[in-house]
């Protein structure tokens, strides 16, 4: 879907302009996204495998839920909407715990220039894995991994191209530390 997204400047401040997502990615305009990492109190972390239909990093195992913030939408509204759309559960704003905003400026061989500010949250997963309903266009599969395995994936990020984007290693380390802090 080619929705309208608000454009921000290099510091993440609104410009007052919006454009279609396809144009934003073509021209490399700065924009906001949401990332939500789900964890269980047993120390498991939910990973989502990107759909094979995705133009960027198809079949990559990564963040539990992610998406663009629609024009005029608040960051929290986008997070709640994306969670409902991508894994089929409803949460409230109080369930979201923001851990930071992370710059991710990358260009891909297919011509996409993705200059994003990831507004990143952690959230306790209070339902079972089989209760989640993956959105077919976005999510190929879902799995829970132990905190130990998550950390191992980060530590060996260069060895395994099916999990995580190697250039974002410090981001994943921050996410991991935030989740560990939340469950201990």
Q: How confident is the model at residue 181 (pLDDT cuts 50, 70, 90)?
A: very high
Q: Are strands 61-62 and 65-68 parallel, antiparallel or unpaired?
A: unpaired
Residues of the chain by 3-state class (helix, strand, coil), percent to 5: 30, 35, 35
pLDDT at position 159 is: 87
Mean pLDDT for the chain overall: 95
Q: How confident is the model at residue 1 (pLDDT cuts 50, 70, 90)?
A: low
Cβ proximity of 140 and 59 under 8 Å = yes
**Percent residues over pLDDT 70 in the chain:** 99
- Rounded distance between C-alpha atoms, residue 52 and residue 59, angstroms: 5
Instruction: For residue range 85-132, list pLDDT tens digits in order.
Output: 999 999 999 999 999 999 999 888 888 899 999 999 999 999 999 999
Predicted TM-score (pTM) of the model is: 0.96
Helix axes 169-183, 147-155, angle to 10 degrees: 160
pLDDT at position 109 is: 86
Mean pLDDT, range 153-178, rounded to an integer: 92
pLDDT at position 9 is: 97
Mean pLDDT, range 22-29, rounded to an integer: 95
Query: What are 68's two structure tokens?
Result: 């663009």
Instruction: For residue range 50-82, list pLDDT tens digits in order.
Output: 999 998 889 999 999 999 999 999 999 999 999
């Amino acid at each position: 879907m080619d929705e309208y997204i608000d454009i921000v400047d290099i510091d993440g401040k609104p410009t007052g302009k919006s454009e279609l997502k396809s144009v934003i990615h073509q021209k490399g305009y700065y924009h906001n996204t949401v990332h939500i990492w789900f964890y269980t109190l047993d120390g498991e972390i939910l990973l989502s495998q990107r759909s094979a239909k995705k133009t960027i990093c198809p079949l990559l195992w990564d963040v539990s839920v992610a998406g663009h913030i629609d024009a005029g939408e608040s960051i929290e509204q986008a997070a709640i909407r994306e969670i409902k759309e991508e894994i089929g559960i409803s949460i409230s704003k109080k369930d979201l715990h923001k851990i930071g905003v992370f710059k991710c400026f990358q260009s891909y061989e297919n011509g996409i220039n993705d200059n994003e500010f990831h507004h990143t949250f952690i959230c306790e997963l209070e339902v079972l894995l089989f209760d989640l309903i993956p959105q077919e266009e976005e999510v190929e599969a879902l799995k829970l991994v132990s905190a130990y395995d998550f950390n191992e994936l980060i530590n060996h990020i260069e060895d395994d191209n099916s999990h995580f984007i190697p250039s974002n290693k410090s981001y994943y380390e921050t996410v991991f530390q935030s989740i560990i802090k939340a469950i201990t």
